[in-house]
Amino acid sequence: MHNVDIDLVEMSLDVIKYAISRISDTDPQLGFPRKAEELKALVGDTVTPKGIGGEKAFALFKDVLVKASVPIDHPRHLAFVPASPTRAAVMFDLVTSATSVHGAFWLEGAGCIFAENQAMEWLVSLTGMPAGAFGVFTSGGTEANLSAMVTAREYWRDSEEGNSKTRGIVIASNGAHSSIRAMAKVIDADVLLIETESRLESSHLAETLARMSAEDRARVFAVIATAGTTNAGIIDDLAGIATICKSEEIWFHVDAAYGGGALAARSVRHLFNGIEQADSVTIDPHKWLFSPYDCGAIIYRDPELAKKAHAQEGSYLDIFSDEGAKGFNPSDYQIQLTRRVRGLPLWFSLATHGTDRYEKAIERGIELAQIAGRLISEFEHTELVREPSLSCVLYRRKGGESAD
Protein backbone atom coordinates (compact mmCIF):
# COMPACT_ATOMS: atom_id res chain seq x y z
CA MET A 1 0.00 0.00 0.00
CA HIS A 2 3.00 2.28 0.39
CA ASN A 3 4.92 1.34 -2.74
CA VAL A 4 5.62 3.95 -5.40
CA ASP A 5 4.84 2.48 -8.81
CA ILE A 6 3.40 3.52 -12.15
CA ASP A 7 -0.17 2.95 -10.93
CA LEU A 8 0.38 5.35 -8.04
CA VAL A 9 1.91 7.96 -10.33
CA GLU A 10 -0.98 7.73 -12.78
CA MET A 11 -3.54 7.93 -9.99
CA SER A 12 -1.73 10.93 -8.49
CA LEU A 13 -1.84 12.69 -11.86
CA ASP A 14 -5.56 11.98 -12.17
CA VAL A 15 -6.20 13.36 -8.70
CA ILE A 16 -4.10 16.48 -9.33
CA LYS A 17 -5.81 17.02 -12.68
CA TYR A 18 -9.22 16.80 -10.99
CA ALA A 19 -8.12 19.17 -8.22
CA ILE A 20 -6.81 21.75 -10.70
CA SER A 21 -10.02 21.53 -12.71
CA ARG A 22 -12.18 21.97 -9.61
CA ILE A 23 -10.10 24.82 -8.19
CA SER A 24 -10.17 26.73 -11.48
CA ASP A 25 -13.87 26.07 -12.16
CA THR A 26 -15.84 29.30 -11.68
CA ASP A 27 -19.22 27.57 -12.00
CA PRO A 28 -19.00 24.09 -10.43
CA GLN A 29 -21.92 21.70 -10.56
CA LEU A 30 -24.25 22.44 -7.66
CA GLY A 31 -25.17 18.84 -6.88
CA PHE A 32 -28.02 17.64 -4.67
CA PRO A 33 -28.37 15.10 -1.86
CA ARG A 34 -29.73 11.65 -2.65
CA LYS A 35 -31.22 8.93 -0.48
CA ALA A 36 -28.88 6.27 0.89
CA GLU A 37 -30.78 3.55 -1.00
CA GLU A 38 -30.24 5.35 -4.30
CA LEU A 39 -26.54 5.75 -3.64
CA LYS A 40 -26.20 2.11 -2.63
CA ALA A 41 -27.82 1.08 -5.91
CA LEU A 42 -25.46 3.31 -7.90
CA VAL A 43 -22.25 2.70 -5.97
CA GLY A 44 -22.58 -0.76 -4.45
CA ASP A 45 -20.03 -2.05 -1.94
CA THR A 46 -16.73 -0.22 -2.14
CA VAL A 47 -14.93 -1.42 0.98
CA THR A 48 -14.28 -5.10 0.27
CA PRO A 49 -11.60 -7.68 1.19
CA LYS A 50 -9.85 -7.22 -2.17
CA GLY A 51 -10.76 -3.59 -2.78
CA ILE A 52 -12.21 -2.20 -6.00
CA GLY A 53 -9.09 -0.36 -7.15
CA GLY A 54 -8.27 3.32 -7.06
CA GLU A 55 -9.37 3.98 -10.63
CA LYS A 56 -12.88 2.64 -10.06
CA ALA A 57 -13.19 4.27 -6.63
CA PHE A 58 -12.17 7.66 -8.03
CA ALA A 59 -14.58 7.28 -10.94
CA LEU A 60 -17.43 6.57 -8.53
CA PHE A 61 -16.48 9.65 -6.54
CA LYS A 62 -16.47 11.91 -9.61
CA ASP A 63 -19.50 10.43 -11.34
CA VAL A 64 -21.81 9.72 -8.40
CA LEU A 65 -20.69 10.71 -4.91
CA VAL A 66 -19.59 14.31 -5.41
CA LYS A 67 -22.70 14.96 -7.51
CA ALA A 68 -24.79 13.86 -4.52
CA SER A 69 -23.15 16.55 -2.40
CA VAL A 70 -23.56 20.33 -2.31
CA PRO A 71 -20.35 22.39 -2.59
CA ILE A 72 -20.32 25.14 0.01
CA ASP A 73 -18.44 27.53 -2.27
CA HIS A 74 -21.01 27.44 -5.07
CA PRO A 75 -22.23 30.93 -6.11
CA ARG A 76 -25.83 29.82 -5.48
CA HIS A 77 -25.15 28.19 -2.09
CA LEU A 78 -26.95 30.71 0.10
CA ALA A 79 -28.22 28.39 2.83
CA PHE A 80 -26.79 27.99 6.31
CA VAL A 81 -23.34 29.59 6.61
CA PRO A 82 -21.68 29.22 3.20
CA ALA A 83 -17.93 29.44 2.78
CA SER A 84 -15.88 30.88 -0.04
CA PRO A 85 -12.28 29.71 0.36
CA THR A 86 -9.74 31.40 -1.87
CA ARG A 87 -8.19 29.25 -4.54
CA ALA A 88 -4.83 29.75 -2.85
CA ALA A 89 -6.24 28.35 0.41
CA VAL A 90 -7.82 25.35 -1.32
CA MET A 91 -4.58 24.57 -3.15
CA PHE A 92 -2.63 24.71 0.06
CA ASP A 93 -5.12 22.47 1.82
CA LEU A 94 -3.97 19.84 -0.68
CA VAL A 95 -0.34 20.63 0.16
CA THR A 96 -1.07 20.46 3.89
CA SER A 97 -2.38 16.91 3.61
CA ALA A 98 0.41 15.84 1.27
CA THR A 99 3.05 17.20 3.66
CA SER A 100 1.79 14.95 6.48
CA VAL A 101 2.88 17.11 9.41
CA HIS A 102 1.49 16.55 12.89
CA GLY A 103 0.56 19.95 14.28
CA ALA A 104 0.31 19.20 17.99
CA PHE A 105 3.90 19.82 19.08
CA TRP A 106 6.70 22.18 18.10
CA LEU A 107 9.18 19.28 18.12
CA GLU A 108 7.41 17.71 15.14
CA GLY A 109 5.83 20.66 13.36
CA ALA A 110 7.96 23.72 14.17
CA GLY A 111 8.04 25.26 10.70
CA CYS A 112 4.36 24.70 9.96
CA ILE A 113 3.30 25.85 13.43
CA PHE A 114 5.44 28.97 12.97
CA ALA A 115 3.47 29.76 9.80
CA GLU A 116 0.16 29.08 11.56
CA ASN A 117 1.21 31.42 14.34
CA GLN A 118 1.83 34.26 11.89
CA ALA A 119 -1.78 33.93 10.72
CA MET A 120 -2.88 33.75 14.36
CA GLU A 121 -0.99 36.97 15.16
CA TRP A 122 -3.09 38.74 12.53
CA LEU A 123 -6.32 37.36 14.02
CA VAL A 124 -5.29 38.50 17.49
CA SER A 125 -4.48 41.97 16.15
CA LEU A 126 -8.00 42.24 14.72
CA THR A 127 -9.50 41.78 18.19
CA GLY A 128 -7.39 44.51 19.77
CA MET A 129 -6.66 42.26 22.75
CA PRO A 130 -3.55 43.25 24.75
CA ALA A 131 0.01 42.03 24.30
CA GLY A 132 0.35 38.44 25.40
CA ALA A 133 -3.01 37.35 24.02
CA PHE A 134 -2.74 34.41 21.65
CA GLY A 135 -4.57 31.34 20.42
CA VAL A 136 -4.68 28.19 18.34
CA PHE A 137 -6.58 26.89 15.34
CA THR A 138 -9.36 24.40 16.04
CA SER A 139 -11.75 22.28 14.01
CA GLY A 140 -14.42 24.96 14.32
CA GLY A 141 -16.46 27.10 16.66
CA THR A 142 -17.80 24.20 18.70
CA GLU A 143 -14.33 23.01 19.67
CA ALA A 144 -13.21 26.60 20.22
CA ASN A 145 -16.15 27.40 22.51
CA LEU A 146 -15.65 24.14 24.39
CA SER A 147 -11.94 24.81 24.87
CA ALA A 148 -12.69 28.31 26.14
CA MET A 149 -15.32 27.12 28.60
CA VAL A 150 -13.11 24.33 29.95
CA THR A 151 -10.49 27.01 30.59
CA ALA A 152 -13.06 29.31 32.22
CA ARG A 153 -14.45 26.54 34.40
CA GLU A 154 -11.01 25.43 35.60
CA TYR A 155 -10.09 29.04 36.37
CA TRP A 156 -13.31 29.41 38.37
CA ARG A 157 -12.76 26.15 40.22
CA ASP A 158 -9.25 27.20 41.20
CA SER A 159 -10.46 30.58 42.44
CA GLU A 160 -12.35 29.13 45.40
CA GLU A 161 -12.07 25.72 47.02
CA GLY A 162 -15.80 25.06 47.12
CA ASN A 163 -16.25 25.61 43.38
CA SER A 164 -14.61 22.29 42.51
CA LYS A 165 -17.67 20.45 43.81
CA THR A 166 -20.24 22.83 42.35
CA ARG A 167 -22.06 22.64 39.02
CA GLY A 168 -21.37 25.93 37.27
CA ILE A 169 -23.63 28.21 35.24
CA VAL A 170 -22.95 29.83 31.88
CA ILE A 171 -25.06 32.82 30.85
CA ALA A 172 -25.82 33.59 27.19
CA SER A 173 -28.69 34.96 25.12
CA ASN A 174 -31.33 32.92 23.33
CA GLY A 175 -29.55 33.95 20.12
CA ALA A 176 -26.37 32.12 21.11
CA HIS A 177 -25.12 29.31 18.88
CA SER A 178 -26.34 25.75 19.48
CA SER A 179 -22.81 24.71 20.42
CA ILE A 180 -23.16 26.61 23.71
CA ARG A 181 -25.76 24.17 25.02
CA ALA A 182 -23.90 21.21 23.55
CA MET A 183 -20.68 22.39 25.18
CA ALA A 184 -22.40 22.77 28.54
CA LYS A 185 -23.44 19.11 28.47
CA VAL A 186 -19.84 18.07 27.99
CA ILE A 187 -18.51 20.14 30.90
CA ASP A 188 -21.55 19.40 33.10
CA ALA A 189 -22.68 23.00 33.43
CA ASP A 190 -26.09 24.67 33.34
CA VAL A 191 -26.91 27.28 30.70
CA LEU A 192 -29.06 30.28 31.54
CA LEU A 193 -30.42 31.83 28.35
CA ILE A 194 -31.58 35.43 28.51
CA GLU A 195 -34.58 36.00 26.23
CA THR A 196 -34.10 39.00 23.96
CA GLU A 197 -35.72 40.25 20.77
CA SER A 198 -32.47 41.63 19.43
CA ARG A 199 -29.00 41.92 20.91
CA LEU A 200 -28.04 41.07 24.46
CA GLU A 201 -27.70 44.37 26.33
CA SER A 202 -25.66 44.95 29.46
CA SER A 203 -28.90 45.90 31.22
CA HIS A 204 -30.31 42.44 30.47
CA LEU A 205 -27.27 40.83 32.07
CA ALA A 206 -27.35 43.15 35.09
CA GLU A 207 -31.05 42.43 35.69
CA THR A 208 -30.49 38.68 35.36
CA LEU A 209 -27.64 38.67 37.86
CA ALA A 210 -29.65 40.82 40.29
CA ARG A 211 -32.60 38.39 40.20
CA MET A 212 -30.48 35.33 40.93
CA SER A 213 -30.24 33.85 44.39
CA ALA A 214 -26.89 34.20 46.14
CA GLU A 215 -26.32 30.47 45.70
CA ASP A 216 -26.96 30.53 41.95
CA ARG A 217 -25.02 33.75 41.47
CA ALA A 218 -21.98 32.07 43.01
CA ARG A 219 -22.27 29.32 40.38
CA VAL A 220 -21.94 31.71 37.42
CA PHE A 221 -18.46 31.31 35.96
CA ALA A 222 -18.85 32.66 32.41
CA VAL A 223 -20.92 34.97 30.24
CA ILE A 224 -20.96 34.32 26.50
CA ALA A 225 -21.76 37.21 24.18
CA THR A 226 -22.26 36.73 20.46
CA ALA A 227 -20.59 38.90 17.84
CA GLY A 228 -22.67 38.00 14.81
CA THR A 229 -25.58 35.65 15.52
CA THR A 230 -26.04 32.77 13.10
CA ASN A 231 -29.52 33.76 11.97
CA ALA A 232 -29.29 37.54 11.82
CA GLY A 233 -25.71 38.76 12.28
CA ILE A 234 -26.63 40.56 15.51
CA ILE A 235 -23.75 41.79 17.69
CA ASP A 236 -24.35 41.91 21.43
CA ASP A 237 -23.43 44.88 23.63
CA LEU A 238 -19.84 43.73 24.02
CA ALA A 239 -18.49 46.80 25.81
CA GLY A 240 -21.31 46.94 28.34
CA ILE A 241 -21.21 43.22 29.03
CA ALA A 242 -17.43 43.37 29.41
CA THR A 243 -17.77 46.07 32.06
CA ILE A 244 -20.19 43.99 34.12
CA CYS A 245 -18.09 40.83 33.80
CA LYS A 246 -15.01 42.68 34.99
CA SER A 247 -16.89 44.16 37.94
CA GLU A 248 -18.46 40.82 38.87
CA GLU A 249 -15.27 38.83 38.21
CA ILE A 250 -16.93 36.60 35.61
CA TRP A 251 -15.13 35.12 32.59
CA PHE A 252 -16.17 37.03 29.46
CA HIS A 253 -16.22 34.97 26.26
CA VAL A 254 -17.16 36.31 22.83
CA ASP A 255 -18.41 33.87 20.21
CA ALA A 256 -17.47 35.63 16.98
CA ALA A 257 -17.33 32.41 14.96
CA TYR A 258 -19.29 33.95 12.09
CA GLY A 259 -19.00 37.69 12.68
CA GLY A 260 -15.31 37.74 13.58
CA GLY A 261 -14.27 38.07 9.97
CA ALA A 262 -15.86 41.52 9.91
CA LEU A 263 -13.28 42.71 12.43
CA ALA A 264 -11.14 43.32 9.34
CA ALA A 265 -13.74 45.71 7.88
CA ARG A 266 -13.27 49.31 9.00
CA SER A 267 -16.86 50.24 8.14
CA VAL A 268 -18.28 48.01 10.90
CA ARG A 269 -15.32 47.60 13.27
CA HIS A 270 -16.90 49.96 15.81
CA LEU A 271 -19.78 47.52 16.26
CA PHE A 272 -17.33 45.15 17.94
CA ASN A 273 -16.05 47.65 20.51
CA GLY A 274 -15.51 45.78 23.76
CA ILE A 275 -14.25 42.57 22.18
CA GLU A 276 -10.74 43.61 23.18
CA GLN A 277 -11.79 43.19 26.82
CA ALA A 278 -12.77 39.54 26.39
CA ASP A 279 -11.03 36.72 28.23
CA SER A 280 -11.48 34.51 25.16
CA VAL A 281 -12.74 34.92 21.60
CA THR A 282 -13.88 32.38 19.02
CA ILE A 283 -13.39 33.14 15.31
CA ASP A 284 -13.97 30.72 12.42
CA PRO A 285 -11.71 31.48 9.42
CA HIS A 286 -13.71 28.90 7.44
CA LYS A 287 -16.78 31.13 7.69
CA TRP A 288 -15.72 34.62 6.60
CA LEU A 289 -11.96 34.59 6.24
CA PHE A 290 -11.89 32.49 3.08
CA SER A 291 -10.33 29.35 4.53
CA PRO A 292 -11.55 25.84 3.62
CA TYR A 293 -13.25 23.66 6.20
CA ASP A 294 -12.26 22.89 8.84
CA CYS A 295 -10.57 25.90 10.43
CA GLY A 296 -11.75 27.60 13.59
CA ALA A 297 -9.74 29.53 16.17
CA ILE A 298 -9.79 30.25 19.88
CA ILE A 299 -7.91 33.26 21.28
CA TYR A 300 -7.13 33.73 24.97
CA ARG A 301 -6.33 36.91 26.84
CA ASP A 302 -4.05 34.85 29.10
CA PRO A 303 -2.93 31.72 27.21
CA GLU A 304 -1.26 30.33 30.34
CA LEU A 305 -4.70 29.75 31.87
CA ALA A 306 -5.64 27.66 28.85
CA LYS A 307 -2.38 25.73 29.07
CA LYS A 308 -3.04 24.96 32.71
CA ALA A 309 -6.48 23.62 31.81
CA HIS A 310 -5.60 21.65 28.67
CA ALA A 311 -1.96 20.49 28.67
CA GLN A 312 -1.86 16.70 28.82
CA GLU A 313 0.67 14.62 30.71
CA GLY A 314 2.06 11.15 30.04
CA SER A 315 5.39 9.40 29.84
CA TYR A 316 5.10 9.39 26.05
CA LEU A 317 4.62 13.17 26.09
CA ASP A 318 7.56 14.06 28.34
CA ILE A 319 9.91 14.51 25.40
CA PHE A 320 7.78 17.37 24.07
CA SER A 321 8.49 19.31 27.26
CA ASP A 322 12.24 18.67 27.28
CA GLU A 323 14.59 21.62 27.02
CA GLY A 324 15.52 20.73 23.46
CA ALA A 325 11.88 20.70 22.39
CA LYS A 326 10.95 24.13 23.72
CA GLY A 327 8.44 25.87 21.53
CA PHE A 328 4.73 26.57 21.12
CA ASN A 329 2.67 23.38 21.41
CA PRO A 330 -0.86 24.03 20.04
CA SER A 331 -2.21 20.93 21.77
CA ASP A 332 -1.63 22.62 25.14
CA TYR A 333 -4.31 25.22 24.49
CA GLN A 334 -7.38 23.26 23.32
CA ILE A 335 -9.03 19.92 23.88
CA GLN A 336 -7.47 18.01 20.98
CA LEU A 337 -4.09 16.35 21.29
CA THR A 338 -3.90 15.09 17.72
CA ARG A 339 -4.33 17.88 15.18
CA ARG A 340 -3.48 18.73 11.61
CA VAL A 341 -1.87 22.08 10.86
CA ARG A 342 -5.24 23.39 9.74
CA GLY A 343 -4.16 27.02 9.90
CA LEU A 344 -1.74 26.59 6.98
CA PRO A 345 -4.28 27.19 4.17
CA LEU A 346 -5.29 30.47 5.84
CA TRP A 347 -1.64 31.45 6.27
CA PHE A 348 -0.88 30.73 2.61
CA SER A 349 -3.91 32.70 1.44
CA LEU A 350 -2.97 35.67 3.64
CA ALA A 351 0.64 35.50 2.49
CA THR A 352 -0.47 35.27 -1.15
CA HIS A 353 -3.08 38.02 -1.22
CA GLY A 354 -2.23 40.28 1.72
CA THR A 355 -4.54 41.54 4.44
CA ASP A 356 -5.63 44.60 2.41
CA ARG A 357 -7.38 42.37 -0.12
CA TYR A 358 -9.04 40.48 2.71
CA GLU A 359 -10.42 43.74 4.06
CA LYS A 360 -11.66 44.72 0.61
CA ALA A 361 -13.40 41.36 0.08
CA ILE A 362 -15.14 41.48 3.46
CA GLU A 363 -16.25 45.07 2.88
CA ARG A 364 -17.70 43.96 -0.45
CA GLY A 365 -19.71 41.23 1.26
CA ILE A 366 -21.17 43.78 3.68
CA GLU A 367 -21.93 46.14 0.78
CA LEU A 368 -23.72 43.38 -1.15
CA ALA A 369 -25.94 42.68 1.87
CA GLN A 370 -26.92 46.36 1.95
CA ILE A 371 -27.65 46.34 -1.78
CA ALA A 372 -29.77 43.19 -1.42
CA GLY A 373 -31.65 44.83 1.44
CA ARG A 374 -32.49 47.88 -0.67
CA LEU A 375 -33.68 45.75 -3.59
CA ILE A 376 -35.88 43.66 -1.31
CA SER A 377 -37.39 46.81 0.23
CA GLU A 378 -38.16 48.21 -3.21
CA PHE A 379 -39.79 44.98 -4.47
CA GLU A 380 -43.57 45.07 -4.04
CA HIS A 381 -43.94 41.49 -2.81
CA THR A 382 -41.18 41.35 -0.17
CA GLU A 383 -40.16 43.19 2.98
CA LEU A 384 -37.19 43.15 5.31
CA VAL A 385 -37.61 41.51 8.71
CA ARG A 386 -34.83 43.77 10.01
CA GLU A 387 -32.13 45.91 8.48
CA PRO A 388 -29.20 43.85 7.12
CA SER A 389 -26.47 43.24 9.68
CA LEU A 390 -22.98 42.23 8.55
CA SER A 391 -23.71 39.88 5.63
CA CYS A 392 -27.13 38.63 6.81
CA VAL A 393 -30.30 39.69 5.00
CA LEU A 394 -33.59 38.61 6.59
CA TYR A 395 -36.74 39.12 4.55
CA ARG A 396 -40.19 37.64 3.95
CA ARG A 397 -42.97 37.65 1.42
CA LYS A 398 -45.61 40.24 2.20
CA GLY A 399 -48.81 38.69 3.49
CA GLY A 400 -47.16 35.35 4.12
CA GLU A 401 -47.42 33.24 7.25
CA SER A 402 -44.61 31.55 9.17
CA ALA A 403 -45.82 28.17 7.91
CA ASP A 404 -45.29 29.32 4.32
Based on the domain organization, do 198 and 250 belong to the same domain? yes
Residue 1 lies in a domain: no
Based on the domain organization, do 281 and 214 belong to the same domain? yes
Is 97 in a helix, a strand, or coil?
A: helix
Based on the domain organization, do 380 and 283 belong to the same domain? no
CATH code (residue 185): 3.40.640.10
Based on the domain organization, do 249 and 281 belong to the same domain? yes
Residue 87 lies in a domain: no
Based on the domain organization, do 120 and 132 belong to the same domain? yes
Task: Spell 35-63 as b/e; 16+ CB within 10 A means b.
Answer: eeeeeeeebeeeeeeeeeeeeebeebbee
Residue 239 lies in a domain: yes
Based on the domain organization, do 249 and 367 belong to the same domain? no
Residue 383 lies in a domain: yes
Distances 247 to 151, 254, 264, 310, 366 between C-alpha atoms, Å = 20, 17, 29, 27, 35
**Final residue belonging to a domain, choices 352, 369, 385:** 352
Based on the domain organization, do 62 and 169 belong to the same domain? no
Q: pLDDT by residue for the chain (404 residues), tens digit each?
A: 888 889 889 999 999 999 999 999 888 888 889 999 999 999 999 999 999 999 999 999 999 999 999 888 888 877 777 788 999 999 999 999 999 999 999 989 999 999 999 999 999 999 999 999 999 999 999 999 999 999 999 999 999 888 888 999 999 999 999 999 999 999 999 999 999 989 999 999 999 999 999 999 999 999 999 999 998 999 999 999 999 999 999 999 999 999 999 999 999 999 999 999 999 999 999 999 999 999 999 999 999 999 999 998 888 887 787 555 567 999 999 999 999 999 999 999 999 999 999 999 999 999 999 999 999 999 999 999 999 999 999 999 998 777 76
Residue 86 lies in a domain: no
Distances 335 to 51, 109, 187, 309, 363 between C-alpha atoms, Å = 36, 18, 12, 9, 34
Taking the C-alpha atoms of residue 101 and residue 400, their distance in angstroms, rounded to an integer, is 54
pTM of the entire structure?
Answer: 0.94
Based on the domain organization, do 304 and 226 belong to the same domain? yes
Q: Quote the number of domains for the chain.
A: 3
Domain that residue 372 falls in:
355-397
Based on the domain organization, do 98 and 63 belong to the same domain? no
Based on the domain organization, do 209 and 99 belong to the same domain? yes
Residue 84 lies in a domain: no
Residue 403 lies in a domain: no
Based on the domain organization, do 240 and 361 belong to the same domain? no
Based on the domain organization, do 167 and 262 belong to the same domain? yes
Residue 224 lies in a domain: yes
